[in-house]
Structure 1
Amino acid sequence: MNPEVSDHSRPLRLFHLSDVHFGLEDPAAIAWAEQAIAREKPDAVAITGDLTMRARHHEFDAACAWIKGLKAPVTVEIGNHDIPYFNLYQRFFDPYRRFRAIERQVEAQLDLPGLAIVPLRTTTRAQWQRFPWSNGWVTDAALRETLAAIDALPQGTRVLVAAHHPLLERRARDNKLLTINGSRTMEILAGRKVMAVLSGHIHDAFDITEQTPSGPLRMIGAGTLSRRIRSTPPSFNEITITGEEIHVVARNLEHVPTAAMQIDEVPENALPPRQPGEPVAPVGAVPPVDPPVH
């Protein structure tokens, strides 16, 4: 039997988590997600950034201890909240030092039967184009590294790319810059026949297909497991891959249907309140402010 066909015939189940924000984590939500992973044993867990709220040592200690206790293969992307806010020397010269307790899982490629989850870094230490530096930038070096990993895979391997920021480069209603170099990145990934890009940053789930000059590219966003909710309760994505098909369920503590959990376009960021005209999921209202960070 052809092993490639056998690999593709077995459904794979992934849990896609994001924006846990230790420091403003939701204890009930993270316990629920941890228990689901232990009980259901997904093939892998992809965490697409923002483990912490302010990249403080105690936040990283709690985040790393939680991740090390998860009973599944895990890959962790770096979010904009995970780069030091207050220690500028460390931000510029050793920004990922506080990840060392889980360094083997940070931006780790996960190789599953017939499928690879490949990381794409979208965070930067600084951005000369704008301030603040919370939104995404796919640098040429980051893109080259991701493409090299994809091109090294055995022929026929299905690919998911994991990043923190959604790759939309411009906001549709006013052309405001979102993720620098996002359009080119989407076009290239579509040309590589990437199945989907997994991301976070927005705190509401989404499942959107963008058209590029090289074909369609699916973008799947996870919600948050923190108290920084937007228009939906805390959630994570359960992703089932069968052959070339992807099925997404936005699982949440309030048992809201997936269609009511997902927004239909990508807003600028996760800051409240959303601006008039920005997307809100059918399930709820946007809180006016974040909980206070101590």
Structure 2
Amino acid sequence: MDDVSILGVATLSKKFGGVTAVQDVSVDVPRGGILSIIGPNGAGKTSLLNMISGFYRPDTGRVVLEGQDITQMKPSDIAALGIARTFQNIALFSGLTVLDNLMLGRHVRMKAGVLSSVIYWGMAQKEDIAHREAVEEIIEFLNLQDLRKQQSASLSYGLRKRVELGRALASEPKVLLLDEPMGGMNQDEKEDMARYVLDVNQERGVTVVLIEHDMGVVMDISDKIVVLDRGRCIATGTPDEVQRHPKVVEAYLGTSKSGGRL
């Protein structure tokens, strides 16, 4: 990992039985930037995020966050160090309100446990107030003020995606891993989410790693793009460099003007 990178993966590989999901992938994620990972279904994109966030243990290689090897750490410990993620399938607690779902995102920042809450009530109460203030700030940031007391199950798909983004932000991440945050959205919802991703990056200073199929979004907001094909990295560079890369043009972008999705 170089000096301007916050996160680095080196020669990561992962097999499931006889199927190789990821093979010898190395990526440096620039601090404060937006890096997009693209490729067709089955290219290994989500498996790569799962290894970074600790949900999968790689067969080979390592993951380094700000110089610290996190390869063998548990997901909760990795989250506490500053890596948060969202999932392809929305993972909210449908019976809880928007506010309660976001409060759950604060758990990695909570110091007062059950016992200390009983013995040192004042300390726990002050901490709870501070966490609620942090969550209220995120609610305002994501324009969810009128929805804070609604159950997440009652929200539209696009709003639930936004709440999931908010829950990830509630953990105060240094690096945010977004797995298809715009998947299944209509055009207006995509534009809203793209704006929020940019705001998270530019206003809150969070480094973003994004899996996305919509090439228009990817080319508009990315500082760097990694292209995977059958578990291997076939191209890395700026949007302009990737668009001109022969392997990417041949395998994904093609010559048709009717595309826009990988």
TM-score of Structure 1 vs Structure 2, range by shorter chain:
0.3 to 0.5
Q: Which has the higher helix share?
A: 2
TM-score, scaled to structure 2: 0.39
* Larger RCO: 1 or 2 (CA < 8 Å, sep 6+): 2
